[in-house]
């Protein structure tokens, strides 16, 4: 269903034009600063990336008024944003990645959030290019190629100068009802525990991450995203329409040094965590909470609002100067029409790319025997 152009065009134009400015500055500092000091470049780039990501957080916080309730113990809450973290999460909705950015922004490490993402994201205008400058790890979903990409990416983080969050969606694809049914079929066929609220995790990337990050990343944050009863599932489409919702996020901290050391045991640890996550989500469905965990509201800071206001004023000034400079002609009208069409196409690509039913699982040929059997069950 199409979104009204009156909503998409202004937001898309703001995001695209400001994003291209950010991309230009990122490229500028990548060429001039990074060869001299990689850490200085990373600090500058973190500030630039924040200026872009905050626009999406404004969309989440101030346009759609989506509320996040955080279920977490006080000790972990105090540590958030102060340590390197490997973050694993169930992939519940279209905007799980944005929920992660919102939590990172509240913790003060938005500019140093990273993730394992599919390679095609790299080519998305503005957002994908900024992810490349920010050192996201892009995977081809072919283990023979991805193994080296992961090793290089993890090693590159060893000297990262700021606390970072590296997100891994271990399920490998977004949660849908059809994929859940397929996962349940596979579990029954292999006499494994049958999931009700999560997919069966694919563990190769997680095992590699634990093995290579153990020496300099102290903790794993196990995040569970749930939608309360009678609340609509937040999506990109709903968010652009300004429709609110509420999201519950449970975070449990695990010391990475306490994890097993063999690949087989790490893989089993991950599967056990997802069994616990499944049970936790089952509890949430019945009680609308995560047991006796303390609930913390994370507020709605005004920083993203200020950033959008400033960008809007700058771009309005630029548009005014552009029309003042150029003569009113068919050439100018054609240029504006092409620009608006480009904005619409880019926004449509972003929306379609983020939708759950558009997410594609890895090719079966790239997985081990167990994952391949699971993959064949997923449409």
Residue 257 C-beta-side C-alpha neighbours within 13 Å: 4
Question: 198-236 burial by CB neighbour count: b if 16+ within 10 A, else e?
Answer: bbbbbbbbbbbbbbbbeeebebbbbbbbbbeeebeebbb
- Tell me the domains of the chain and their CATH numbers: 5-305+345-376 (3.40.1130)
The arrangement of strands across the sheet holding 295-297 comes to 137-139, 113-118, 165-168, 85-89, 219-226, 246-255, 67-71, 295-297
Q: In the predicted model, is pLDDT for residue 341 greater than 80?
A: no
> What pLDDT was estimated at residue 344?
66
CB atoms within 10 A of CB 339: 13
| pLDDT-wise least confident of 29-38, 116-125, 200-209 | 116-125
As a three-state string, the secondary structure of 217-286 is CCEEEEEEEECCCCCCCCCHHHHHCCCCCEEEEEEEEEEHHHCCCCHHHHHHHHHHHHHHHHHHHHHHHH
The whole-number average pLDDT for the span 358-375 is 41
| Tens digits of residue pLDDT in 176-190 | 888 999 999 989 998
Q: Among residues of the chain, what percentage have pLDDT more than 90?
A: 59
| Tens digits of residue pLDDT in 106-164 | 999 999 999 999 888 888 888 999 999 999 999 988 888 899 999 999 999 999 999 99
What are the helix (H) ranges across 108-228?
A: 127-133, 143-156, 177-189, 204-213
> Is the Cα torsion angle 166, 277, 68, 121 positive or negative in sign?
positive
The whole-number average pLDDT for the span 198-223 is 94
Please state, in angstroms and rounded to a whole number, the distance separating the CA atoms of residues 351 and 379: 21
Q: Output the six-digit token pair for 302.
A: 């005004």
Please state, in angstroms and rounded to a whole number, the distance separating the CA atoms of residues 226 and 197: 10
Q: Indicate the SS3 state at residue 296.
A: strand
Q: What are phi and psi of 165, to 5 degrees?
A: -115, 125
As a three-state string, the secondary structure of 192-208 is CCCCCCCCCCCCHHHHH
Residue among 377, 360, 379 nearest 200 (CA): 377
The answer to whether 248 touches 226, Cβ cutoff 8 Å, is yes
> Is the Cα torsion angle 57, 59, 62, 68 positive or negative in sign?
negative
Q: What is the pTM of this model?
A: 0.86
Please state, in angstroms and rounded to a whole number, the distance separating the CA atoms of residues 77 and 243: 28
The answer to whether 112 touches 163, Cβ cutoff 8 Å, is yes
> pLDDT-based confidence at 338, cuts 50/70/90?
confident
Residue 59, C-beta contacts closer than 8 angstroms, at least 6 positions apart? 11, 239, 240
Strands 113-118 and 165-168: parallel
Q: Output the six-digit token pair for 14.
A: 């703001």
């Amino acid at each position: 269903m199409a979104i009204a152009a009156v909503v998409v065009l202004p937001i898309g134009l703001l995001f695209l034009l400001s994003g291209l400015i950010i991309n230009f500055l990122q490229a500028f500092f990548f060429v001039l600063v990074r060869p001299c000091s990689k850490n200085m470049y990373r600090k500058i780039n973190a500030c630039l990336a924040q200026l872009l990501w905050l626009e999406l957080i404004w969309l989440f916080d101030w346009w759609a008024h989506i509320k996040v309730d955080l279920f977490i113990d006080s000790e972990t809450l105090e540590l958030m944003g102060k340590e390197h973290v490997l973050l694993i999460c169930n992939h519940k909705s279209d905007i799980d990645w944005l929920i992660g950015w919102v939590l990172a922004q509240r913790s003060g490490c938005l500019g140093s959030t990273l993730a394992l993402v599919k390679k095609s994201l790299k080519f998305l205008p503005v957002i994908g290019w900024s992810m490349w400058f920010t050192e996201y790890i892009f995977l081809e979903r072919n283990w023979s190629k991805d193994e080296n990409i992961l090793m290089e990416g993890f090693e590159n983080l060893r000297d990262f100068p700021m606390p970072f969050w590296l997100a891994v969606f271990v399920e490998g694809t977004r949660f849908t009802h059809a994929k859940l049914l397929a996962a349940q079929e596979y579990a029954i066929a292999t006499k494994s525990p049958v999931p009700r609220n999560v997919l069966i995790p694919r563990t190769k990337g997680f095992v590699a991450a634990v093995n290579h990050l153990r020496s300099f990343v102290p903790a794993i944050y196990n995040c569970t995203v749930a939608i309360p009863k009678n609340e609509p599932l937040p999506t990109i489409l709903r968010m652009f329409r300004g429709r609110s919702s509420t999201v519950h996020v449970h975070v449990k901290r695990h010391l990475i040094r306490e994890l097993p050391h063999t690949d087989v045991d790490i893989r089993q640890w991950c599967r056990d965590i997802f069994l616990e996550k499944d049970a936790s989500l089952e509890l949430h469905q019945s009680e609308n909470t995560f047991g006796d965990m303390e609930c913390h509201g994370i507020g709605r800071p005004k920083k993203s609002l200020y950033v959008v206001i400033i960008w809007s004023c700058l771009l309005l000034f630029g548009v005014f100067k552009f029309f003042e400079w150029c003569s009113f002609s068919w050439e100018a009208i054609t240029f504006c029409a092409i620009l608006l069409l480009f904005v619409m196409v880019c926004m449509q690509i972003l929306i379609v790319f983020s939708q759950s039913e558009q997410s594609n699982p890895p090719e079966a040929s790239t997985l081990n025997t167990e994952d391949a059997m699971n993959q064949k069950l997923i449409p």
